[in-house]
Amino acid sequence: MLAKQDSLNNGWTESQLKNEELERLLNKLRKDTSNINGQLADLRGRYADMDANYAKLRSNSSSEINKLSDDLKKREQRLKEVEEVLRKRDEATNQLKEKLQQALLGFTKNGLTVEIKNGKVYVSLTDKLLFPSGSIVIDEKGKQALTQLANVLKLQPEINIAVEGHTDTQKVNNLGQIKDNWDLSVLRSTSVVRYLTEVEKVESVRMTATGKGEFQPLGPNTTADGRSKNRRIEIVLSPKLDELYDLIKQ
pLDDT of 74-110, one tens digit each? 888 888 887 887 888 888 889 889 999 999 988 988 8
Collapsing DSSP states into helix, strand and coil, what is residue 243?
helix
- pLDDT, residue 242, reads 55
Residue 124 gets which letter from DSSP?
E
Q: Under a CB-based contact definition with an 8 Å cutoff, are residues 140 and 199 in contact?
A: no
Task: Provide the sign of the torsion angle of the four alpha carbons 130, 135, 138, 140, taken in this order.
Answer: negative
- pLDDT, residue 233, reads 97
Considering the entire predicted model, what is its pTM? Answer: 0.68
Q: Under a CB-based contact definition with an 8 Å cutoff, are residues 232 and 218 in contact?
A: yes
CA distances from 76 to 50, 68, 69, 73 (A): 38, 12, 11, 5
In-domain check, residue 14: no
Distance of CA 167 to the CA centre of its chain: 33
In-domain check, residue 96: yes
Low-confidence ranges of the chain (pLDDT < 70): 174, 241-250
In-domain check, residue 127: yes
Q: Under a CB-based contact definition with an 8 Å cutoff, are residues 239 and 158 in contact?
A: yes
- pLDDT, residue 246, reads 55
Between strands 232-239 and 159-166, the pairing is antiparallel
Q: Please report, for the domain that includes residue 127, its CATH number.
A: 3.30.1330.60
In-domain check, residue 41: no
Domain that holds residue 152: 90-248
List the Cα angle 38/43/45 in 5-degree steps.
95
- pLDDT, residue 247, reads 47
- pLDDT, residue 241, reads 66
In-domain check, residue 104: yes
In-domain check, residue 207: yes
Q: What total number of domains does the chain contain?
A: 1
In-domain check, residue 184: yes
In-domain check, residue 231: yes
